[in-house]
């Protein structure tokens, strides 16, 4: 589903960069959702939702994507639509892609990256994630339907929650919870993911402590609730997510976690116990 034909090279396929991330995120979400007390009836559709959540980036060339948004960070241009609109409040959602282009064009050209359709399409992967996701879902609707899958409006809102949290307003508590579970777990996977770290976060290694430092920002921003964070911390501390963590980092299951991570798991376990005792 994530693999797409390469329009610049007929006969070639761009392998879906996010497919392993999506699959692993799905397993993590299922584990955390059950522990967080989400009603069981939601789990099958939540599974479909999390598997498809990054389809809006199908066709991504990770190197080009990393270059474009790396330049944006260099020049202080926010790289997510939510942050862009927080900084430039007069910009509407529809204006965001062109606003972003007008601010980055020169810096890209100075670094030898011309604003081709391919570059623009990669900008849309973040600046119009909603439109791109919807187009991808529409294109794949016949294939999905042959598998008995219909993407319902709430499922789309869960997929879009990270970039468009405001669209969650008015949804039932369970749907909001699923949005939060996805943001927490997909970022847990992404911050543990060695390949992503190297390709587009400019990271040299992954450490559990840093993963949670990053995740706590989402809790502070109100994007993820304290309950979801506490559940994720508890499961991480217990070792229930060790296999997914090892996979994210390119380790085999029989390899041991880094000593620093085991120590951090113990720290997490102690803090989870303290919180449990005080509440
Ligand atoms: Fe993701």
State the distance from the centre of ligand 1 to the C-alpha of 162, rounded, in angstroms.
Answer: 9
State the distance from the centre of ligand 1 to the C-alpha of 40, rounded, in angstroms.
Answer: 23
70 has pLDDT over 90: yes
The secondary structure of 53-93 as a DSSP string is: TTGGGTT--HHHHHHHHHHHHHTT--SSHHHHHHHSTT--T
**170 — phi, psi (to 5°)?**
85, -5
Give 230's contacts (C-beta < 8 A, 6+ positions apart). 272, 275
State the distance from the centre of ligand 1 to the C-alpha of 279, rounded, in angstroms.
Answer: 32
The structural domain count of the chain equals 1
Average pLDDT over every residue of 211-222? 93
State the distance from the centre of ligand 1 to the C-alpha of 226, rounded, in angstroms.
Answer: 21
State the distance from the centre of ligand 1 to the C-alpha of 54, rounded, in angstroms.
Answer: 5
10 has pLDDT over 70: yes
Lowest mean per-residue pLDDT among 119-123, 203-207, 263-267: 203-207
Long-range contacts of 6-14 (CB under 8 A, 24+ apart): 8/118, 14/59, 14/60, 14/61
Q: What is the pTM of this model?
A: 0.90
Identify the domain containing residue 131 by its residue range: 4-278
Confidence tier at 42 by pLDDT (50, 70, 90): very high
State the distance from the centre of ligand 1 to the C-alpha of 186, rounded, in angstroms.
Answer: 5
Alpha carbon distance 253, 93 (integer Å): 43
DSSP 200: I
State the distance from the centre of ligand 1 to the C-alpha of 28, rounded, in angstroms.
Answer: 12
State the distance from the centre of ligand 1 to the C-alpha of 126, rounded, in angstroms.
Answer: 12
Mean of the per-residue pLDDT values of the chain: 92
State the distance from the centre of ligand 1 to the C-alpha of 218, rounded, in angstroms.
Answer: 14
pLDDT at residue number 13: 78
State the distance from the centre of ligand 1 to the C-alpha of 187, rounded, in angstroms.
Answer: 7
For 199-216, letters b (16+ CB in 10 Å) and e give ebbeeeebebeebbeebe
For 88-98, letters b (16+ CB in 10 Å) and e give eeeeebeebbe
- Of 247 and 200, more confident: 247
State the distance from the centre of ligand 1 to the C-alpha of 88, rounded, in angstroms.
Answer: 25
The secondary structure of 117-146 as a DSSP string is: HHHHHHHHHHHTHHHHHHHHHHHTHHHHHH
pLDDT at residue number 200: 63
Q: Model confidence over 110-150: pLDDT tens digits? A: 999 999 999 999 999 999 999 999 999 999 999 999 999 99
Q: Which tokens in the block code for residue 204?
A: 């040299």
The secondary structure of 217-267 as a DSSP string is: HHHHTTSS-HHHHHHHHHHHHHTTTHHHHHHHTT--TTSPPPHHHHHHHHH
State the distance from the centre of ligand 1 to the C-alpha of 18, rounded, in angstroms.
Answer: 7
Q: Model confidence over 16-31: pLDDT tens digits? A: 778 899 999 999 999 9
State the distance from the centre of ligand 1 to the C-alpha of 51, rounded, in angstroms.
Answer: 9
State the distance from the centre of ligand 1 to the C-alpha of 184, rounded, in angstroms.
Answer: 10
57 has pLDDT over 70: yes
Of 53, 52, 50, 2, which Cα lies nearest the Cα of 30?
Answer: 50
């Amino acid at each position: 589903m994530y693999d797409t034909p390469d329009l610049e090279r007929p006969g070639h396929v761009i392998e879906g960069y996010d497919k392993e991330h999506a699959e692993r995120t799905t397993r993590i979400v299922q584990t955390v959702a059950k522990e967080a007390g989400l009603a069981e009836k939601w789990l099958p559709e939540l599974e479909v939702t999390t598997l498809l959540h990054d389809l809006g980036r199908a066709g991504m060339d990770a190197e080009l994507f990393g270059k474009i948004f790396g330049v944006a960070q260099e020049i202080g241009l926010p790289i997510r639509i939510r942050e862009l609109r927080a900084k430039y409040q007069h910009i509407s959602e529809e204006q965001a892609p062109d606003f972003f282009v007008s601010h980055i064009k020169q810096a890209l050209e100075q670094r030898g990256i011309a604003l081709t359709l391919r570059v623009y399409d990669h900008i849309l992967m973040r600046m119009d994630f909603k439109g791109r996701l919807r187009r991808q879902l529409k294109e794949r609707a016949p294939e999905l339907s042959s598998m008995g899958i219909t993407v319902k409006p709430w499922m789309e809102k869960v997929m879009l929650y990270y970039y468009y949290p405001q669209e969650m307003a008015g949804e039932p508590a369970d749907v909001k919870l699923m949005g939060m579970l996805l943001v927490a777990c997909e970022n847990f996977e992404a911050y543990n993911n060695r390949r992503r770290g190297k390709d587009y976060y400019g990271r040299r290694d992954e450490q559990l402590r840093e993963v949670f430092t990053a995740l706590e920002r989402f809790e502070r921003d109100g994007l993820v609730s304290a309950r979801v964070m506490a559940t994720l911390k508890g499961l991480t501390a217990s070792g229930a997510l060790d296999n997914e963590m090892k996979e994210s980092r390119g380790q085999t299951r029989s390899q041991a976690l880094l000593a620093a991570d085991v120590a951090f798991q113990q720290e997490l376990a102690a803090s989870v116990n303290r919180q449990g005792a005080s509440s």
